[in-house]
Amino acid sequence: MATQKTKRYPVALNSGILQQLLAFGSLIILVLVFSLASDNFFQFSNIVGVLLSTAVVGVLALGATFVIITGGIDLSVGTVMTLTAVMTGVSITYWGWPVWAGLLVGLATGALCGFVSGVAVAKMKIPSFIATLAVMMIAKGLALVISGTRPVYFPTPEKGFKYSDISLDSILDKIIPGFKIPNAVLIFFCVAVIGSIVLSRTIIGRYNFAIGSNEEATRLSGVNVNFWKIVIYTITGLFTAVAGILISSRLNSAQPALGMGYELEAIAAVVIGGTSLSGGKGSILGTVIGALIMSVLTNGLRIMSVPQEWQTVVVGFVIFLAVYADILRRKKAS
Amino acid sequence: MKKSFRSWSMATLLLAGIVTVTACGKNANENSSPSQEASKKPTASQAAVSEKLYIPIICKGFQHQFWQSVKIGAEKAASEFGAEISFEGPETEEQVDKQLEMLQAALGKKPSAIGFAALDSKASIPLLQQAKDKNIPIIAFDSGVDSDIPVTTASTDNKKAAALAADKMAELIGGKGEIAMVVHDQTSRTGVDRRDGFKEQIESKYPEIKIVDLQYSGDPLKATDLTKAILQSHPNLKGIFGSNEGAAIGVANGVKESNKTGKIIAIGFDSGKAQLDAIRGGVLSGSITQNPIGIGYETVKAAVAAIKGEKVEKNVDTGFFWYDKNNIDSEEIKAVIYE
């Protein structure tokens, strides 16, 4: 028995690392292929463009990673993102609140939506698929109601801080002149680092993996599973709010009908990054790589002028491959 | 204690819901013209002309301000002709199925006529056939339907309007060079007409202009990334055309984020605050606007005429305008652009 256990562990670990390497390797190969195929791909401005277009879905995916590791799913992230954008917009533009207060309103909205999902899943025992579907519809409706079904535009003062600076200005440029990386990219990586620390260095992360691997065993070992689940869904909501702030500042407006479909892109990024939909396994680094693969793929295909219909087909195939790799890995591990 | 609290809160919620619904209903009635106040009973039986006319208007998606202006025009005509209208549409312009459900529901309410702006010009035909069988006149607006069921179509001639955009593009880039297009979708009549109208005009009249890229998205964020990729892959690009509000916002953002303001001739379609700002700021060179208030007005006007059995023209051209920095504040343009 004991020998079997010690044998199994390294295999699982190795194939986990293998999956990460596989994803990272695919990313490198994609970048190489596109760079060879088109001179316009590997240029500073385009790489920055790719990173910028990864930011919104990337942050959403980082949040979704937490819930997916518990073995659940969050379908509400796309529309909750929209709702937080609308709440931020309404409080800044219509109520005239200062930007920092508007941002707090947005973050609180996201956290609250996550909290509601968490309570529904943990306490009311509604399957996460259904609970978050309900939250998705509620958020969608509220976004339309609160905004009056029209876009909310942020004020653009002639001088000083503009709301769009949150995404598009570059703090890095001021520190290292010429290094013009938009803040949205910086925020994406900061959020990733925070997410990674939470997931790998804190008790939240440890319980997150434990719940995902074996919820019953975790409960029996004295962990308050319900409480931690609510915490985890709330964290996902908070990350989603950050994505809402990013998308609204990039468009300098909160578009109330936007956001549908973004949850699926986020889930795809998580899955491509090697996080298992059956829970218990996953990493933030994987999700960052997954999100990058998605946007490198679409950007590269666009630059090669591949028709849009085919771009969608290719992304679909990549999702197939990613999930199949996950299944192979688990087969090997057991 | 706990239980009674729960049932009380449920009851309060329900009550609040009912109050809201009735309040809304009242509001809708208040909008109706005073002369018709007596016949407040809403469309109970098959509409006779003497009774209050009920005309549901189904648009394409109400988030764009364009549709808010159409609604204003429709309401204006409704109060003038003593009709009652409802105005609804799916949340995004991709939800063909949602829109068909709305059409189905409208049919069930025994309307006097229906105003319909099809998201998919073919998918709606079976339901329109049902309307025809029930003798409910259909007024197509904004975009036509590939069928002769609608008694008339009140719309901008999108092909002609897009051709004007092409002429302006040619003029502004000096008659030659590479250009690209971002079109809002592949299935709707407006998407197809604006794409073809622009393309055919360039191909037939300007042999030295080459359309090097054509991509689709009406989502402002996606259209932004798309525009940046187009600019990246075609460094010699001189101009780019965005075919509706969402696509044009994306084109403007993409040009701005790529630091190509002033170096690229960007032309939009439709209107809205973000587009007006982009024109005033020099990011967009100009845009084509339809006359949305006119579209709404003519739709209801034609519907009333059709119900009364009057002869209606097969097509009502509601017109279009080119606007740019120079005429954006003129009276003529102010009336047809919308924030």
Chain B contacts in chain A segment 178-197 (CB below 8 A): none
Q: What is the CATH number of domain B158-290?
A: 3.40.50.2300
Chain B 233-262, residues with CB within 8 Å of chain A CB atoms: 233, 235, 249, 253, 257-258
DSSP string covering A146-207, please?
HHTTSPEEPP--SSS--TTHHHHS-HHHHHSTT----HHHHHHHHHHHHHHHHHHHSHHHHH
**How many A-B residue pairs are in contact by the CB < 8 A criterion?**
80
A256 touching B, CB under 8 A? yes
Interface touch B230/A46, C-beta < 8 Å: no
A-chain residues near B215 (CB < 8 A): 302, 308
Question: Which of B63, B216, B249 to mutate against chain A (most A CBs within 10 Å)?
Answer: B63
pLDDT (tens digit per residue) in B169-205: 999 999 999 999 999 988 877 899 999 999 999 999 9
Q: Are A150 and B65 a contacting pair at CB < 8 A?
A: yes
Residue A73 Cα distances to A66, A67, A109, A173, A271, angstroms:
9, 6, 19, 38, 12
Chain A touched by B58 (CB under 8 Å): no
Query: Are residues B52 and B84 in contact, defined by beta-carbon separation less than 8 angstroms?
Result: yes
Cβ atoms of residues A255 and A151 within 8 Å:
yes
Pick A153's closest partner by Cβ from B219, B224, B274: B274
Nearest chain A Cα distance for residue B213, angstroms: 7
Q: Is B101 helix (H, G, I), strand (E, B) or coil?
A: helix
Query: Which chain B residues contact residue A258 at CB under 8 A?
Result: 219-221
B contacts of A150 (beta carbons < 8 Å): 63, 65, 68
Q: Say yes or no: do domains B53-156+291-318 and B158-290 share a fold.
A: yes
pLDDT (tens, 9 = 90+) of chain A, 334 residues, equals 344 444 444 444 445 666 677 888 889 999 999 999 988 899 888 999 899 989 999 999 999 999 999 999 999 999 999 999 999 999 999 999 999 999 999 999 999 999 999 999 999 999 999 999 999 999 999 998 999 878 898 988 888 888 989 998 888 888 888 888 999 999 999 999 999 999 999 999 999 999 999 999 999 999 999 999 999 999 999 999 999 999 999 988 998 888 888 999 999 999 999 888 888 889 999 999 999 999 999 999 988 888 878 888 998 898 888 888 777 877 776 6
Of A168, A247, A257, the CB nearest to B221: A247
What is the rounded average pLDDT for all residues in chain B? 84
Which residue positions in chain B have pLDDT lower than 50?
1-3, 19-49
By Cβ distance, the residue of B68, B215, B229 closest to A150 is B68
The CATH code of domain B53-156+291-318 reads 3.40.50.2300
**Which of B229, B272, B274 lies at the smallest CB-CB distance from A299?**
B229
Tokens representing A323?
């999930």
Query: Which pLDDT value is given to residue A177?
Result: 87
Phi and psi angles of residue A63, each rounded to the nearest 5 degrees, phi first = -65, -45
Among B166, B243, B157, CA closest to B201: B166
Domains of chain B, residue spans = 53-156+291-318, 158-290
Per-residue pLDDT, B14? 54
A251 interfacial to chain B (CB closer than 8 Å): yes
Q: Where are the alpha helices (DSSP H) in chain A?
A: 2-37, 44-69, 77-89, 99-122, 128-147, 165-168, 171-175, 183-201, 203-213, 215-220, 225-251, 262-272, 284-303, 308-333
Distance separating alpha carbons of residues B128 and B124, to the nearest angstrom? 6
What is the C-alpha separation between B227 and B231, in angstroms, rounded? 6
CB-facing half-sphere around the CA of B103: CA atoms within 13 A: 28
Q: What distance in Å separates the CA atoms of residue B142 and residue B153, rounded to the nearest whole number?
A: 8
A140 part of contact set with chain B, CB < 8 Å: yes
Contact A258 B62 (CB under 8 A): no
Question: Could you read off the pLDDT of B50-61 as tens digits, one per residue?
Answer: 568 999 999 988
